[in-house]
Amino acid sequence: MISFDDWIAIITSFDTVQEQRDASEAIHELPPLVVADYVGRLLSNAGEYCKGITSARLAHLIWFLTNGYNDYWDDILSPEVPKEIQASTVRALGSFYRDFLDSYPLGRYPGATEAESAVFMMGDMDYLFEAIGFPGEEHLMDSIFEVLEVALKCQSFACQRSALHGLGHLVMYAGERPISLIDEALKVESNLHPLLIAYAREARTGCIL
């Protein structure tokens, strides 16, 4: 089985989508508990493991981990992984937003960098965020909202936009809970980047891209 260090070395060095597709089977066929461990450790300590990563490589890393060519989140949320580990791995996304992405130079407008676009689409992890709408996945609800609340309270445009993206999609699944978080952010104008005020109002309707 591939070691954590070797796994990190591979997934932080992607320069193309094709490299994600062609990545060694060793990084795709890990046992679910190992996937949860590796992903959780990376997300919780990205400042250490992603130090000096370029915007392009960070974008590929995010795509790989969240919407990429693997079944990592299916594995993490599988019955083989205890529910408390599932929840803690989800919460590690909050650490990734707060402790790494918020201080990374992602840019101050939509699509400013490849990484900004990838961070935005972290709010569109349907198989994760929409899981709260299915029976048996209720244990994930608090963790998912904790992640999005952390991202919304970040200072960076990219993290806030990503959070609003995710909250907007959750309006149809969780009703007032995402709306209340958005409304709380809108109470004080300085809470949100000025370019995101209109987007926040759109997100609270649930009609969002």
Residue range 107-122, pLDDT digits in tens: 888 888 899 999 999 9
Does pLDDT of 89 surpass 90?
yes
In a domain, 39, yes or no: yes
User: For position 53, what pLDDT does the model report?
Assistant: 98
Asked if residues 170 and 135 have their Cβ atoms less than 8 Å apart, the reply is no
**CB neighbour class for 162 (10 Å; exposed up to 12, middle 13-18, buried from 19):** buried
Tokens of 171: 């309006």
Provide the pLDDT confidence category of residue 135 given band limits of 50, 70 and 90.
low
Could you tell me how many residues make up the chain?
Answer: 209
User: For position 126, what pLDDT does the model report?
Assistant: 66
In a domain, 125, yes or no: yes
In a domain, 72, yes or no: yes
Q: Give the domain extent around 20.
A: 4-151
Question: Which of 64, 63, 207, 74 is CA-nearest to residue 128?
Answer: 74
Number of structural domains, the chain?
A: 1
Q: CA–CA separation, 167 vs 147, rounded Å?
A: 10
pLDDT per residue over 137-176, tens digit each? 778 889 999 999 999 999 999 999 999 999 999 998 888 9
Residue range 91-106: mean pLDDT, rounded: 97
Q: CA–CA separation, 152 vs 12, rounded Å?
A: 26
User: For position 188, what pLDDT does the model report?
Assistant: 85
Name every residue whose Cβ is closer than 8 Å to that of residue 133 and which is 6 or more positions away in sequence. 173, 174
Tokens of 49: 């493991």
Residue range 32-60: mean pLDDT, rounded: 97
In a domain, 172, yes or no: no
Residue in the block written with tokens 């995101």: 196
